[in-house]
Amino acid sequence: MAEKALAQGTEELPPPVSTAPKAKRKLWFNVLVTLVAAGYLASLASSHLARVGSAVAPAALQQAPWAQSTPADVQCPAQPKALHPPKKVEWTDELRSSSIKLFQEAVQIPTESFDDNGEPDEDPRWKPFFHFQKWLGSAFPTAWKAAKIEFINTLGILATFEGSDPSLKPLLLMSHYDVTPAPPNTFDRWTHPPFSGHNDGEFIWGRGAGDDKTLLVAQWEAITYLLESGFKPRRTVILSHGFDEEEVFARRGQGRIAPYLEERYGKDGLLLVIDEGGGTSDDFFGTPFALPATGEKGYLDIVIEVGTDGGHSSVPPRHTGIGIMSQIVNTIEDHPFQPKLTKKSPILTSLFCASEHSAKFPKKWTKLLAKGQKGWDKVADEFAETTLGRAQIGTTIAVDVINGGVKVNALPELVTAQVNFRIDFDESIASTQEHVARLVKRIAKKHDLKFEAWSDNNSTIGSHYVKLKTLGIPLEPAPRTPQSGGVWELFAGTVKASLHAADGSELVVSPFASTGNTDCKMYYNLTKNVYRFVGLSAGSSFGAHTVNERSSVKGHFAIVDWVHAIIQNTDAYDGPQ
């Protein structure tokens, strides 16, 4: 009977979407798995999945011109000519050794960030962060002295290299110096201890080696080498380092630095912001690509509450609160969001780029892409056949926490579940909430329970109810970074000049997207030109957020080359700001 009632209850809902993986593994699947296994997509995909977006959702900003994609955003952007900077890093054996040493030293400082950290001046667990600041100053004395150094909210590090021309908007390079904890009970699973900074000849081992210290150290090396060779910035260069990127409710690091900078430079006051994120792959459908993330999915956590009468288990109702919650969870999981490729999705653009430039892109998909939305829908269905593919082109749902009941002879009075959503580029916080409310309301109705969604109303609605509440601070999908115009050409041209495939060939630069969120979410007021790009090649970095994290020495040198180049080219840039 209950099953029948449930079936009736869900009659008007869309049919459950089949999520059974197909047996046939697609080419793109292999490609994407390669990217993820390589670890450089760590910050794009898996590694940041556990994070709660902490930005104030910039609702007004979503209306900004750059938040709206145009048909031109669907096509693969024009590939600019390689933009060679005046100077290259002159890698001597001595410089290589010193670069490796700096990288190792940074990893050896255990700047672990915990979700329950107290204030910096109170909680002793922040001690290593003060050591790191001291180390940074002594490791890079030339740059440290040349910069105006400010500590924002005690531990945020802001280094400003003032340019001679104040009319030029600054370049800002981000990285974070906190790392996820390496719990002592996992130490025996590390091949080399997590804060050893061990150099095995190919990789530097340790927590934070890949996420994010290779980038931070490379940024300081690049600016140092430039200053030592006589570089005097015309355009201000800013290095900005948060210290709580890995925390669940990150709010003290870039959450404070970005507003501080907004006060100093004003809305849209920066030319270009580059944060951790994508890298390069020699095999994106058979061709070498650079894949900077030009978009980021949104974020929403919710709590579902089911309140029912308690009482003795010997006289139970047909469904206890736990039974009702089970139906809710089932219904939500059986009605996932439709995966989709629309003009809002940077992944659609990646596919257009692969179609245009890649040796092994499926011909069938090329034909479908040419057909417009109908064809894109078909590609989306195939793309979504794997878990990773689905996550990249649709809102995901993860029921992660459930609580209810206290005793086996007592009926549960309150059952709660926490659900995490990663919001697709063509959805919003509101559309995600609507979808869930529609599904849950039906179950509430079936059981004759009062239903309340997203109200801040704390007053009791009796003991028979289902409530939906937002948890933490939700985040809209990121505004899309422009993929044409001067700054795009500057960025992509510099990538082409400074990074290459293993065989030395030039990279196709294609927009890509991130399923997780990084600290750059705090910067959308400051520029539309936000790129999430480290520049590591696939296979350079492993183990982010887990045991045996390591990042390659060769990859580290490549990041130094890339940052060295982008600083010079941005300095010389005279295009539209």
Ligand X SMILES: *[C@@H]1O[C@H](CO)[C@@H](O)[C@H](O)[C@H]1NC(C)=O
Instruction: Give catalytic residues, as residue numbers.
Output: 178, 245
- What is the residue-wise DSSP string for 507-557? PEE--EEESS--GGGGGTTT-S-EEEEEEEETTSEE-TTSTT-EEEHHHHH
For every residue of 234-296, DSSP letters joined together read: SS-EEEEEES-TTSTT--SSHHHHHHHHHHHH-TT--SEEEEEEEEEEEEETTEEEE--EEEE
Out of 212, 282, 296, 424, the only residue in the binding site for Zn ion (CB under 5 A) is 212
Task: Name the residue nearer to ligand X (CB basis): 55 or 328.
Answer: 55
* Binding partner of residue 53 among Zn ion, ligand X, none, CB cut-off 5 to 8 Å per kind: none
1's CB contacts (< 8 A; 6+ apart) are none
User: Given the complex with Zn ion, which of 73 and 276 has the nearer CB atom?
Assistant: 276
Strands 272-284 and 287-290: antiparallel
Question: Which stretch, 90-98, 269-277, 449-457, 506-514, contacts Zn ion (CB under 5 A)?
Answer: 269-277
110, amino acid identity: P
Whether residue 192 is annotated as binding a ligand: the answer is no
- Confirm or reject binding of residue 456 to ligand X (CB under 6 A): yes
Q: Under the criterion CB under 6 A, does residue 525 sit at the interface with ligand X?
A: yes
Site membership for ligand X, residue 269 (CB under 6 A): no
Percentage helix, strand, coil for the chain under 3-state DSSP, each rounded to 5? 35, 20, 45
Options 17, 56, 303, 471; binder of ligand X; rule CB under 6 A: 56
Contact of residue 455 among Zn ion, ligand X, none (CB under 5-8 Å per partner type) = ligand X
Q: How far is the CB of 461 from ligand X (least distance, A)?
A: 4
Residue 322 CB, nearest approach to ligand X (Å):
24
* 574 known ligand binder: no
Among 73, 112, 178, 211, binds Zn ion (CB under 5 A): 211
Q: Distance between the two ends of the chain, CA-based, in angstroms? A: 66
- Cα–Cα nearest to 225, from 351, 133, 98: 98
CB nearer to ligand X: give 331 or 525. Answer: 525
What is the C-alpha separation between 29 and 565, in angstroms, rounded? Answer: 33
If binding is defined by CB under 5 A, does position 247 make contact with Zn ion? no
Candidate residues 70, 164, 373, 455; the one interacting with ligand X per rule CB under 6 A: 455
Give Cα 180 to chain centroid, integer Å: 15
In contact, 391 and 422? CB cutoff 8 Å: yes
The CA distance from 75 to 225, in Å, is: 38
Closest listed residue to residue 534, CA positions, set 267, 174, 200: 174
How many residues interact with ligand X (rule CB under 6 A)? 14
Residue among 269 and 310 whose Cβ is closer to ligand X: 269
Question: Which lies closer to ligand X via its Cβ, residue 234 or residue 251?
Answer: 251
Which of the listed partners (Zn ion, ligand X, none) does 212 bind, with a CB threshold of 5 to 8 Å by partner kind?
Zn ion
Min dist CB 245 to ligand X, Å, is 14
- Binding residues for ligand X (CB under 6 A): 55-56, 58, 60, 258-259, 455-459, 461, 522, 525
- Binding residues for Zn ion (CB under 5 A): 43, 211-212, 276
